[in-house]
Structure 1
Amino acid sequence: MEAFYIILLVGTVLVLSAALSSLLAFRFGAPLLLVFLSIGLLAGVDGLGIQFENYSFTFMLGSLALAIVLFDSGFMTPAHSFRIAAAPALTLASAGVLLTAGIFAIAASFFLGFSFVEGLLLGSIVASTDAAAVFFLLRIGGINIRDRVRSTLEVESGTNDPMAIFLTIALSELVATGQGFSGLDFRFLMLFIEQMGLGLIFGLFGGMMIVWVLNRFTSDRGLAPIFVLTLALLVFAFTGVMGGSGFLAVYVAGIYSGNRRMFAKQQIVRFNEGLTWLAQIIMFLVLGLLATPSQFPAILLPAIGLALFLMFVARPVAVWLSLLPYDFTQQETGFVAWVGLRGAVSILLAIMPILSGVESGSVFFNTTFIIVLASLLVQGWTIRPVAERLGLIIPPRMGAVDKVELDLPGKATHELISYRVMKDSPILSGERIPRWAMPSLVIRDGRSMRYQYAGRLKEGDQVYLFVAPSYTKLLDRLFASRVPVEEDDAEFFGAFAISPTRPARELDAAYGPGLLSANEQNMTVGDLMTSRLGGRAEYADRIRFGSIVLIVRELDEHDEIRSLGISLEPVEPATNLPIFINMREIAHRIRDLLRKYRGKPVPGKSGATPPEGPASAA
């Protein structure tokens, strides 16, 4: 019992230290994984002297924690974000991982003297990005970028782990048995199809099961999060037993259940958030305890060289080739390439060569640990400056909003929402609550009163309204605080506005001509913009049109374009090298070169001026 109390005391002190240190991470923008790993290293064998070498236990504990993190990541991913980012994100999660591992293997063979198969194994270990680090820096770090880019990064970080795990396990077996590539046969392909297919199928059915159980068999809000957690782990374990990828299954189950109406959903979200923090802290601390920093100097220089190669060569080239068919700008592709944070998953996978009996297993583990630390130090602290340098930070549509969504019993067609009236919000400036919203109660200075008798709303009032779910975004704007417009923000949306209802042929006449097809000539400017964006426009979306850039300034409640901006300044390339450009840009450059070769004027290069009349009106 005395030993138990000592272990419990040390463990709780470490967890508490990590939790308290996260406050510093929030303040200075440091990646939390780096903070947690550092505490584990300081408490380990070369620090405070805690001896911990149980690789099997660490792998099982880390897998369990990763399953919890992935479920929460999927649960918090809106269906809309998954739809707009599914194609590029899944390409990165499959082809991108393979390309990264293959390119990295060449450098690993050079720096460490590995065979190509061993280099490919190390490349597979470090090929996946860390979901926890990406979600923290993008969602909590306040980096406001284009929705499609952010969603692509988040979905990629949640879906690339199964591919990396499969490759690592398969290649560890080949290296440990000494078979090399001669051991590769058709069964590995079938095993991959089986794991991914079963993971997807059981994940969908698991998500349906979670929603069905929560909406029919729970009546206590305190038990609802426990049901969700145990059912999610049931999906993870059952899929693994059946030969599928439990990590893919639990992520898919999270996406499905998180986008359905569920009993006590707000309590589930809060519980999952706290549990995910705890899972991350424990996983990172244990991985930090497992490392032996005194062994790092022997491979420090090669490992740093590999880390730089991964950051500046392998990941960028793999991302560019994977996103080549998609309409990402140079700046956006460059940013996706830079946000390739390595983290706990890579360190966890680095345990596999040791468990598989690979002769140089410790080299894999120590090299991976140094690569992860270098990635977090360099990339983790520079994500926001890089986003600003590339011009990807978009002005927020509104300021802070204090909102609580309350569950209604049964299959209610309305939601009960509570807003706190923020300083300088539009509702304080005379804006009225729309007729389709039904305000019922106001709490002011601790006293409740009916909305009809509350008079004019005041700052700090708590207002309760019944509203249809699809209209909550409009109310957010009414109760949000005012956002100061910076000078750079004003320039972001272009020199002037253009009505989206104007004929697109007028735009072609001014900034073309000849850039539109016969069908596009009959469209409005807004329809043209939506069409070239793949059927759905987002706030701050941009497309190049000749020598100008069209920018989405505002959307209405139906996500239709309300206002467009025109920037007369061409978007500067992210790099002078012909990298990160997409297929559309390649075709555009080839067409300009052919026109120049034939002596024809390049569209938009003849000093065109903005169209006169209503088209240039806001």
Structure 2
Amino acid sequence: MNAMMLLAGILLLLGIASSKFSARLGMPMLVLFLAVGMLAGSEGLGGIPFEDYSLANSVGSVALALILFDGGLRTSLASLRLAWRPALSLATVGVLLTSVLTGLAAMWILDVPLLYGMLLGGIISSTDAAAVFSILRTSGVKLPERLAATLEVESGSNDPMAIFLTLGLVGIITGTASSAAALFLLFLLQFGVGAAVGIGMGRVAAWAINYMNLDYPGLYPLLALAFSLLVFGLAAVLGGSGFLAVYLAGIVLGNSPIVFRRGIRFFHDAAAWLGQIVLFVMLGLLSFPSRLLAVAGSGLLIALVLILVARPLAVTISVFPFGFRLRELAFISWVGLKGAVPITLATFPLMAGIPGSEALFNVVFFVVLVSAITQGWSLTLVARWLKLARPADPAPPVSVEINALRHVDGEIVEYTVAPTARVAGQLLRNLALPDEVVVTLIVRGEKVIIPRGATVLQPGDHVFVAMRTRIKPLMDQLFDPEAGALSFAPDLQLSFHAESTVGQICRFFGLPCPMESTVPVGSLLPPDGTGRRARLGPFLIAPGDEPDRVTLIYAPDAETVGAGNSHSPALPGDIGATLR
């Protein structure tokens, strides 16, 4: 036991150390983790014998659950709304088409029966979440929001289809699932039970985290971890997809108002890294380089068909109706990364005792290596070549957090000022910010700046803003124009200083009216009668709770009360435009 713990510590340290070389070499970390495992394996320098496919399947499932749960925690509802239609099409139709096309090629290349070729196609048909999450978030580039969301949601939700195809074909080959009714039931269970358990238990987890009132803050991340394992196991026991369930539970929990949110996310980010290291090092231990060399020729041909033919055709057919540009379709096709899921699925035929399954496993492993090295290594270059990437925002050198053991209607959010943001180059005193928003800290390079009215916000500044939670979508748009489509809540009411100018208010909301207008918004109200209102674009201007305040109410279809506009100053430009 002591020797095993020593060995585990050494492999973990090597896995972590390899992440530093990954950034310098531009190589995907999963490839380096695999390399560490292969070097430590029975045919490597370590000479560690490991060929327990059942244990590898179990450990791999747990690691993938951690990775998918963390991915769900970081998937916003806004991204999900943008991407769920094309992502769902890719996760179902795209996976099926990829499986069929690759399976037909494998049947011819390997000279095996049709069912065996289709089994291999099903195993390697899905895009791997661990690989996509890892590479997209460490690539150093930022993709358009809809494109990035589609890739992440697809990779997190396409495993049930691959599992259905793999288990269904294993059942047909072994004679345990020979009827169409049995296959249809398996399909419904994988998607239906997985989705129901994930969404339902995600809500239960959010309720439990908020109301269990734990005495020690460090227990909250562990409570979330317990629910992630519970969700995965419950869905699997009921016959559904644990992978889909744990990803959806992460999305529900990550978008719920929970206590100790930042601590939970930090913990599960570390847990996902641990899962990746353990998973890929273990899979490296499971490989035998001599066996991989024996299938190199056929494996390379199958990989080329998969990467250059099957995936692009599947993407074009399943995603073309959703309005992606040609270069975006090309990039989605290239990010068909394979990783841990195909290797884990390749253990199913081995455990079922299907003849020739060892050769099948070796081919799958070789295809994954080719995909990870070629597609993973070149992802950033392809994104730049297709002009889809911009440099990722630098990480702030400091962090600010509200650690609340009760849910509070507020948070401190860190923004990086985009060059084209509406706040870029503006004095703080010239920004009309609602009373529910305060700029608390600015970090420029390694310098901490205390905000003053004369402070100019420069591109690249890290700005920490304290705000009410409901204001966050508006602030997202103010600092980053690519934050997503702007929409206003029907009951939105915000209080501003009456001396804020029309131009400043328009800048805050992104209204199509003149920024140079210096007319105070309070002067639009008539001097007599507190019940009278004026209009500014889709907003009604009403008197505030205090004499020096006005309230802006989102009411694009409401009429002004009284003759409020009749003696308001004339304003240049179009201030009557309504945002929809």
TM-score category, normalised to shorter length = 0.7 to 0.9
1:188 and 2:183 correspond:
yes
Give the 3-state SS of the residue equivalent to 2:322 in structure 1. Answer: coil
Structure 2: which 5+ runs fail to align?
488-505, 515-573, 575-580
What is the aligned partner in structure 2 of residue 287 from structure 1? 283
Distance change in 2, residues 1:421/1:537 (3 Å): closer
Judging changes above 3 Å, is the alpha-carbon distance between structure 1 residues 351 and 416 closer, same or farther for their aligned structure 2 residues?
same
Shift of 1:410: 4.0
- Measured after TM superposition, the shift of residue 386 of structure 1 is 1.4
Give the equivalent residue in structure 2 for 1:317. 313
Q: Which amino acid is 1:213 matched to?
A: A
Cα shift at 1:428: 8.5
Please give the residue correspondences for 1:361-400 in structure 2 after superposition, counting only pairs within 5 Å.
361-394=357-390
2:164 maps to which residue?
A: 166
1:331-381 deviation per Cα after TM superposition (whole angstroms, max 9, x unaligned):
111110110010011111111110010100111110011001101111111
Cα distance, 1:97 vs structure 2: 0.8
Quick check: 1:408–1:416 contact (8 Å CA) kept in 2? no
- Decide whether aligned partners of structure 1 residues 458 and 93 sit closer, same or farther in structure 2, where only a CA change above 3 A counts: closer
Q: Which amino acid aligns with 1:195?
A: Q
What is the aligned counterpart of 1:273 among 269, 273, 279? 269
The code of the aligned residue for 1:367 comes to: V
**1:204 maps to what in 2?**
199
- Using the TM superposition, give the Cα deviation of residue 466 of structure 1 relative to its aligned residue in structure 2, in angstroms: 3.2
- In structure 2, how many angstroms separate the alpha carbons of the residues matched to 1:17 and 1:228? 28
Say what the alpha-carbon RMSD is for the aligned residues: 3.7
- Residue in 2 aligned with 1:113? 111
**Structure 1 partner of 2:49:** 51
Once the two structures are superposed, residues 552-573 of structure 1 have per-residue CA deviations (whole angstroms, 9 ceiling, x without a partner) of: xxx976687899xxxxxxxxxx
CA distance in 2: counterparts of 1:111 and 1:422, whole angstroms:
50
Q: CA deviation at 1:441?
A: 6.2
- Cα-to-partner distance string for 1:484-529 (whole Å, 9 max, x where unaligned): xxxxxxxxx9xxxxxxxxxxxxxxxxxxxxxxxxxxxxxxxxxxxx
Alpha-carbon distance in 2 for matches of 1:319, 1:442: 45
1:233-283 C-alpha deviation (Å, 9 max, x unpaired): 111111211222211111111111110110100000000000100011101
Q: What is the one-letter code of the residue matched to 1:384?
A: T
- Would the aligned equivalents of 2:258 and 2:407 in 1 still touch at CA under 8 Å? no
Distance 1:119 1:561 in 2: 58
In the aligned structure 1, how far is the partner of 2:473 from the partner of 2:122? 42
Deviation of 1:442 after TM superposition, in Å, equals 6.4
- Give the drift of 1:8: 1.1
2:141–2:391 contact (8 Å) kept in structure 1: no
- 1:32 maps to which residue? 29
Gaps of 5+ in 1: 484-492, 494-534, 539-554, 564-613
Letter in 2 for 1:239: A
| Number of the residue aligned with 1:258 | 254
Equivalent AA in structure 2 for residue 193 of structure 1: L
Q: 1:561 to 1:114 in 2, by over 3 A?
A: farther
Per-residue deviation, residues 195-220 of structure 1 (Å, max 9, x unmatched): 31111111111011110000000333
Sequence identity (%): 38
Indicate whether 1:334 and 2:316 are aligned: no
CA shift in 2, pair 1:240/1:556, >3 Å: farther
1:231 to 220, 227, 232: 227
- Find the counterpart in structure 1 of residue 8 from structure 2: 11
Corresponding pairs, count: 488
Maintained 8 Å contact 1:419/1:463: yes
CA distance in 2, matches of 1:221, 1:476: 29
Q: 1:466 is paired with a residue of what secondary structure?
A: strand
Question: CA deviation digits over 1:76-133, x for unaligned, max 9?
Answer: 1000101110011011101111110100111101110111111110001100111122
Matching residue of 1:505:
none
Counterpart contact for 1:100–1:123, Cα < 8 Å: yes
SS of the aligned residue for 1:183 comes to: coil
Question: Equivalents in 1 of 2:358, 2:513: separation in Å?
Answer: 58
Residue 144 (structure 1) shift = 1.9
Residues 451 and 106 (structure 1 numbering): CA distance in 2 closer, same or farther, change over 3 Å? closer
Residues 458 and 346 of structure 1: CA distance in aligned 2, closer, same or farther (over 3 Å)? closer
Could you report, residue by residue, the CA deviation over 1:385-408 in whole angstroms, capped at 9, with x for unpaired residues? 212222222577x76656534244
Q: Does 1:301 find its partner at 2:289? A: no
Residue 467 of structure 1 pairs with residue 467 of structure 2: yes
Q: Distance in 2 between matches of 1:387 and 1:463?
A: 28
Cα deviation 1:39-77 (Å, max 9, x = unaligned): 111111110211011111110110111111111111110
1:347, 1:91 → 2: CA distance? 24
Q: Which amino acid aligns with 1:168?
A: T
Distance, in Å, in 1 between the alignment partners of 2:220 and 2:296 is 48
What does residue range 588-603 of structure 1 map to in structure 2 within 5 Å? none
Amino acid across the alignment from 1:202: V
Give the TM-score of the pair, scaled to structure 1. Answer: 0.72
Quick check: 120-129 or 380-389, which moved more?
A: 380-389
Aligned to 1:156: 154
Q: Give the deviation of 1:141 after TM superposition.
A: 1.1
Aligned mates of 1:78, 1:198 — CA distance in 2: 23
TM-score (norm 2): 0.76
Give the distance between the partners of 1:82 and 1:379, measured in 2 at CA.
25
Given the superposition, is the C-alpha separation of residues 561 and 383 from structure 1 closer, same or farther in structure 2, using an over 3 Å criterion?
A: farther
1:20 is matched with: 17
Give CA-to-partner distance per residue, 1:130-172, whole Å, 9 cap, x none. Answer: 1122122222212222211111100000001111112112212
Kept in 1: contact 2:474–2:486 (CA 8 A): no
Amino acid across the alignment from 2:42:
V
Give the distance between the partners of 2:449 and 2:486, measured in 1 at CA.
41
Give the C-alpha shift of residue 536 in structure 1. 4.8
Query: Could you tell me how far apart the structure 2 residues matched to 1:419 and 1:67 are?
Result: 30
Q: Is the 8 A contact 1:108 1:122 kept in 2?
A: yes
Return closer, same or farther for 1:70/1:430 CA change in 2, 3 Å cut-off: same
Give the Cα–Cα distance (whole angstroms) in 2 for the partners of residues 216 and 33 of structure 1: 38
Name the counterpart of 1:590. none
